[in-house]
Amino acid sequence: MNKFSIIFLIFGLFLISGCASKQKVVTPKTEMPIWVSHPPKSNNFELIALGEGENQQDAINNALSFIVSTLSVSLSSDFSARTVVKEGHVNSSEATYVNKTQSHVAKIRISEYEILHVTRLGFKRYAALVKVNKQKLFQGLQNEIDQKFEIYDNDIKNIENSDVLKQLATYKNMQKSFGYIENALVVMKVLNKDFKDKKNLIKMNEINKKYQYLLAHISFWVISNVKSLGKPVVGALTEQKFIINKTDSKMHFDIYIQAKIQKANAYGFTLARAEISLITKDYKKRVLASNVLHLVGQSSQGYAIAKQNLVKRLNDLIQKEGIAKILHLGI
């Protein structure tokens, strides 16, 4: 084979490979399942929803979220039917409550559900069909609430002989879950029209009353060797609605602030370096909690302004960390 034959052969192979590369690879088109294009509807006994996501779990979670949004719509419809119209004006108190509650329904947990179908629709796209039995959802929420109140009952018994600050903190922690419980009760009424939530509402009301009673009777008094350093502490306690007064009550507490401040200079600034000791005592003068803070105030305008800045630093720290953490008290 001569030189020209070899060149011709290579050129021919190049043309063949070029043509081959232009051929399109046709993949068979997959039919979309009927349950994706026409998902079954919810009924009186079951909630059914279709969800899509980048993976199977996302698709399932989105389906569950859609079920919860369905509950929100039922909730809204139920309340709208009971909205009162007086003298041509809508009583907006219920409507406002619906909107607020509806936005929190999304936090309802669905622990029991059945995955009917899962399929891949394409690249990073999955679909899932999920079913939730209404009775099981109702029972799951009922069990969850019963367990919470059982824990609360035990906690209340355990703090009967504790100091009032510990009691207050316990009731306050209970109240944190009341928003969820209230919304769960509303959803349960949507799922079961015959459900009576009076027993649970009475329990929450009793806890609220005990908390409010303690809050209305607990008092603090702040004693500080640097008067200005007491103001941020008093302000934070007032924000939490505590009484600031010197009393002889068994629910009274004194907070002692002892500050050691040193004057210093650095880089053209006057500094007020402080070691601040905070001690809380009960009406019997027993130490309940203590803490030591190290803060530095600074100013380019002299020592007096640096000490004012020190007070600001303490106030900023209280706002950031919370007065409970600053005092080491569970309030």
pLDDT tens figures, 241-272: 999 999 989 999 999 999 999 999 998 899 99
The whole-number pLDDT of residue 109 equals: 79
For the entire predicted model, the pTM comes to 0.72
Pick the closest to residue 39 from 106, 149, 129 (CA basis).
129
Report pLDDT digits (tens) over 33-91. Answer: 899 888 999 898 999 989 899 999 998 988 888 888 777 655 555 444 443 333 333 34
Single-letter amino acid, residue 13? L
At residue 21 the predicted structure's pLDDT band, cuts being 50, 70 and 90, is very low
Query: Which residue matches tokens 């192979």?
Result: 13
The whole-number pLDDT of residue 294 equals: 97
Tell me: pLDDT of 186 over 60.
yes
Query: Which residue matches tokens 């005592």?
Result: 281
At residue 191 the predicted structure's pLDDT band, cuts being 50, 70 and 90, is confident
Q: Which residues pair with 263 in a beta bridge?
A: 272
Q: Which residue has the higher pLDDT, 207 or 87?
A: 207
Tokens of 298: 């600074």
Q: Which residues pair with 90 in a beta bridge?
A: 85
Query: Which residues, in sequence order, are CB contacts of 303 under 8 Å at separation 6+?
Result: 263, 270, 272
Report pLDDT digits (tens) over 80-105. Answer: 444 333 333 334 444 444 444 444 56
Reduce the DSSP state of residue 82 to 3 states and report it: coil
The answer to whether residues 188 and 135 touch, using CB atoms and an 8 Å cutoff, is no
Q: Which residue has the higher pLDDT, 318 or 104?
A: 318
Distances in Å between the Cα of 124 and the Cα atoms of 60, 133, 145, 172, 307 are 14, 29, 38, 45, 60
